[in-house]
Structure 1
């Protein structure tokens, strides 16, 4: 093989290293992928916990200044910072320690998580109603930007005989005609309920 520094000797050494399972390229890449996946799950759980707290207490997410030098970055970032304060695992993979394209703090990510919560809540309400009937209350109003929006509330009696009213959501509509409102209601009901289960529904439309 010649001297240690000769190319043949180096090639043989690399071959021996490659044949060792713990030092093979595939094994190293597999371990790296597992670590990245584990870090991503820790980061995602922390983000979901922050969103859940804000939703439960009906608090705003965003702040006016979310830069690193800001003293108040908004409730979402501040709560996430609080969660990781005494947890080294979360601290090491979130905010400034997370990959730049995988921080999970963007408004889009927050909205996706909120939508997931919304779907799960509506699903639990529909499971509680089951095959029974329910009433629907619909109210329409315009917001400060003059956009028409419709609120939907379900009223039903649960298995214990208790009357409940559950807020389903706010839907933006182009106008307040009956066809437009019905189409919006059908869209909301498309995944979990059917309009056939609705009894004695009322639609309140303000005159002003």
Structure 2
């Protein structure tokens, strides 16, 4: 590179840096003049920065058109119950628009209390419940309780306010319900949860887990077992499953399989740690024994394969442009894939499990033996 070119690049870099710096300084001055924090905003009654103007534009855009509401409840850091409201409507160009309109504090999350909060919100912004054409609630633990009652209260006033539950959420809840009914699958996730609690209960153990994983990846790269490249071999953490989080059970099993070796190493370290109390060492030893069995490894890989198929369906159902006709086709495709796995993929699946067991010196039962109940 010529010296002159280098000087030009340096000057350009300085100019760009000055522009960014001046923008930052301007923002800081604005915050200081208005007494605002560097994060958050001032929504007090005497503030000139309230969001009313934005909400007025949203309400004006809806006009006299039909709309739907999406409602969820949550607790803030002070454990106060809150109701989050989103309006969904079609704009003049035919596009489906979703706008967050606010968070309202509610005394409790009973159906009557939530309905009262919605009535106040409608009154505040001049919205008519007669124009309400749809209602949706994403709170699994409340679906059969408060939100179900809220749905009925609104339908009593407006029979056209049809209730629609999220397709992906319904799928997740159905999967969780089914797994809890099957004793072996319920047992699998019970053990998995205990493993996550023991291994991830302290930052020290998480650090050891990462160190063991880094060592395994480095060794595999040297031996040519895995390839390096952008997006490959990313750091993986143990993921905790949640009944209402889409795909969380699948993500948990994937992370457990990927971290199987470092997890067993961490458990063995706890067992050998003379400073740990006997209860912790016994728990780690018990989990280690459970993990290094064919039954556990088989169930782990089976549920990972099944949930991998349903996870693709779940992600497809979450697309904003999804419609019910296409959703039914996707469900049918998912059912066919599950049936194909049952009919044609048993041998390849068993070979995969056997290979995994061999890697960790776990005995594989002879499948042609006579089974005695």
Tell me the TM-score normalised to structure 2 length: 0.27
Greater RCO (Cα-Cα under 8 Å, separation 6 or more): 1
Tell me the TM-score normalised to structure 1 length: 0.47
Which structure: greater helix fraction?
Answer: 2
